[in-house]
A and B are shown apart, each in its own frame.
Chain A
Amino acid sequence: MAELPQAVRGFGVTFLTMFKKVVTEQYPEQKVPPKPRFHGRHQLNRWADGLEKCVGCELCAWACPADAIFVEGADNTEEERFSPGERYGRVYQINYLRCIFCGLCIEACPTRALTMTNEYELADDSREKLIFEKQDLLAPMLPGMVAPPHDMYPGMSERDYYAQKVTGSSPEQVTTGTRTTVEETA
């Protein structure tokens, strides 16, 4: 006799919970946007005319506590320019099997080339697929952008880019060069 009230009390908890707000999310049928500062997949940003912001300095790789980032810099040439200035990131890889999403890399980036998006769906079924290459990380081409390699905005210097004076592409900026290390996704 003494056990029954306890059992009823136990069900009472269950019963009361039915009237509380549900915290379960119906993922993947319903996707709830994370908080704005959530550390998701990285993105390599572009200038307004489509040139890349990354200068291949490797400070992100240096800052990374998990050794998840691999960068190789290279020279921009007159024929093939990927970023304003002299240097660009020829190879850029982030290994999401290693990344701990701490965000030290984006703090280290001197050009704001590397930022983090809110995208969190990063599960996959092979190791290769989780090593993101540069083309997987580059920001999408927005309207008005021209896919690199191409010249800097006519009359603008590297410094003008950093001063935010370039706000779009010019008709004179057209994709040049044959070696395209980046598959552009519009």
Chain B
Amino acid sequence: MTVTSNSGPGSDLEMATDLITVVIDGVEMQVPKGTLVIRAAEQLGIEVPRFCDHPLLDPVAACRACLIEVEGMPKPQPACAQVLNDGMNVKTQYASEVARLAQEGVMEFLLLNHPLDCPVCDKGGECPLQNQAMSAGRPETRFDGEKREFDKPINVSAQILLDRERCVSCARCTRFAEQIAGDPMIELLERGAQQQVGTADDEPFDSYFSGNTVQICPVGALTSASYRFRSRPFDLVSVPTTCEHCASGCSLRTDYRRGVVTRRLAWDDPEVNEEWNCDKGRFAFTYQRNGRVEHPMIRENGELRVASWPEAIDAAARGLAAARGQVGVLVGGRSTVEDAYAYARFARTALASDDIDFRVRETADEETAFLAARVAGSPVAASYDSLETAPAVLLVALEPEDESPIVFLRLRKAARSGTKVVSVGAVATTGLAKMSGTLVPARPGGEAAVLRALDDDTRALLSQPGSVIMVGERAAGAQGTLSAVAELADATGATLAWVPRRAGERSALDAGALAGLLPGGRPIEDPQAREQVAAAWGIPASDLPAVNGRSGDAILRAARDGELSALVVGGVELVDYADPTLAEEAIDNAGFVVSLENHHSAVTERADVVLPVAVVTEKAGTFLNWEGRPRPFGQVFRDALTMGDAKVLSMIAAAMEIPLPGDVRVLRAELGALGPWAGNRFQAPTTPSGAASEGTVLASWRLLLDSGLMQEDEPHLAATARPTVAMVSATTAAALGETVTVTGPAGSVTLPVQVADMSDDAVWVPMNSPGCHIHTDLGVTPGASVRLTAGGAA
């Protein structure tokens, strides 16, 4: 069973110290004080039927399916809400005729109005109601009246469909929405037989976590538009996997039929995602099939043409060998540890270059130094569990609900039991309100100064043992922020956690796919570190580059200016760079570009050799989540013909006569044997605080559901995304009216105005949502100065 620390009565087994003695079905047992009957019965292997009971939700005793007999009590009691007392004698349906008849009676009532939809119901075959009607119900129905009927199905959101007549009013979905997600947009309406789940008029259930309600619904009342009628549970083959969308690192279950993924579910991992995941992780997987690069291609007379694998590998190897020493490697933030390690080793050995970076976003040298000093190769310091027990958590340049949803859920759970959440940022968001958090206002770009001048109360909060400081990847864009965060962590003793957005960023960092850092966080300029790595790679240490290479934008500039003559690009979307024009020019001007991609993109269009690689379902690998916790996953489609990045790189290396293993298991073992760096680490950067720009400054981050490429072809999911709006303060909004035009150097966007709690001289727009892509539409990054004009005039 799941060990949890619910705030509700009695399910906290870990904390309890007093044991009480109880008797269940004649078996005497000792349980912690406050244990629920249903939990204690589970420990004896007795399964009491239940619908509304869920270990992670507060008890409600709504469905009454779990009635049991308690000696001394006049009526049967619900096992899911009955707390055990010392000496209590409980009899379940196996020992008590009263309990058995009570359960049978409840089941009969629940089935009175339940339609015979089983053949067309998505839940049929994995339905607790079906199963428990068989185990605890009567063999025959005595009801011959008309069943309750509703129009079906109705949309509670574009994605979530509700068949009201199937509902048994267990309130799992509404309790999840209120207690876990903090989005109480669905509620039980009406009374008696007419009781039904519903939303307010014109307010759909557009929660980022709505898919979880489908999974925990014990009947088929809630279904998802994307899976409805796609298959039956008994058709599906299930494989445990890890979510590839963000650095939360959720355990998932991927179900497929005949080589096609039909759905993904949250898998139970109490240490990470508990039993939840976000809608992006659940529903965004169509990209794995559509728009794929299917064949290797090489450029001939200016045109790309399909080539055989040996021909393409040979072309790549020849081009790269010619440019050896002058090749930049852009890894992208989506690689597994093993793939990133292969890139890191390929760059240092086959290409004799340290010009490598995994960050496809705004970066800074300060961030490189910060990551080398505080993050790369370090063991798990702050974890999900430590968030839950932390007295205070400071968020810097991080909007967990959008950028790491499971961190958000855990922080919300923590906040419900007393953790103080403080955010340094520009906007007091609804997400922050759901965590009962307080905002320390900071103008975008000026976070460092705010952090360095943090008031004593907040410092005192963070000085409590167990406090955590979480800093997001956007901090790289505001000068001095990461330095200030490191200083604050040192001064207060709080644990520091770096929370990137993409699933592969921490993986790539620890695997050494960053200039200046060898695997395990080893500084490339340290002779001992080079010797360790060279020994593992079976080469003389003198063959390794001994000085820090270029990182981030420096690689792009060098390629544009002709200092680098070739690029190896894997999983990079050019518009994700802070300066997409620079990125395009870099790819155009680099003499030779090898692209390892699974989808056609602006890079594959410009590349000289395109090599198709596997998506996550077609390969095995490991992601490191933000904690630094390895999240290994196996290959879903074992007969996939595609190869992972590591395998393709090993083939190129072989053609260049450089040894490089391509097997994921070998790479994993090699990296594991190398281990983290134990020698001297870098000092954290001490960059002075940057000054915020003049005038109105731009705040921005990527929404969870936006124009991201991995969410393509999911219309139902896209319809639940938040609308693209510009957030301004009430004063600014009064001056602007209904719509605002935000103008940057590259152009402008016109968006509806939404009032938020923020300063008058700032505006927030989404970074990459339909109708607003700040890198390309405005030509700016967060913290830049923009012009606001009322209405639609550009």
Contacts and interface: CB of A to CB of B under 8 A. Distances in A.
A133 interface: no
B124 A57 contact: yes
Contacts of B118: 110
Interface string A97-124: 0000000000000110000000000000
Nearest to A73: B229
Contacts of A57: 119-120, 124, 232
Interface in A55-113: 55-59, 61-62, 72-75, 85-87, 110-111
A75 B232 contact: no
* Residue of B119, B125, B234, B235 contacting most chain A CB atoms (<10 Å): B119
Given A75-B229, A87-B229, A62 B120 contact: no
Contacts of B235: 58, 61
Interface residues of B, number: 14
Contacts of B153: 86
B119 A62 contact: no
B198 to A, nearest CB: 20
Interface in A15-73: 55-59, 61-62, 72-73
Given A55-B120, A86-B120, A87-B120, A75 B228 contact: yes
B229 A62 contact: no
Contacts of A61: 235
B231 interface: yes
Interface secondary structure of B, over-half rule:
loop
Given A58-B235, A62-B234, A85 B120 contact: yes
Kindly state the interface size class of chain A when it binds its partner.
10 to 19
Nearest to B235: A58
A173 B118 CA distance: 29
Contacts, number: 36
Nearest to A72: B231
B674 to A, nearest CB: 48
Interface in B109-132: 118-120, 124-125
Contacts of A56: 120, 229
Contacts of B234: 58, 62
Nearest to B119: A57
Contacts of A86: 120, 152-153, 229
Contacts of A110: 118-119
A141 to B, nearest CB: 25
Given A86-B120, A111-B119, A62 B228 contact: no
A110 B118 CA distance: 10
Contacts of B152: 86
A51 to B, nearest CB: 15
A73 B229 CA distance: 6
B349 to A, nearest CB: 49
Contacts of A62: 125, 232, 234
Nearest to B116: A110
A160 to B, nearest CB: 13
B290 to A, nearest CB: 19
B230 to A, nearest CB: 8
A61 B153 CA distance: 26
A55 B119 contact: yes
B162 to A, nearest CB: 14
A59 B119 contact: yes
B67 to A, nearest CB: 31
A55 B118 CA distance: 11
A18 to B, nearest CB: 57
Interface in B653-707: none
A75 to B, nearest CB: 6
Nearest to B149: A159
| 3 tightest Cβ-Cβ pairs between the two chains A and B | A57-B119, A73-B229, A110-B119
24 contacts: A55-B119, A55-B120, A57-B119, A57-B120, A57-B124, A57-B232, A58-B232, A58-B234, A58-B235, A62-B232, A62-B234, A73-B120, A73-B230, A74-B229, A75-B228, A75-B229, A85-B120, A86-B120, A86-B152, A86-B153, A87-B120, A87-B229, A110-B118, A111-B119
Interface of B: 118-120, 124-125, 152-153, 228-232, 234-235
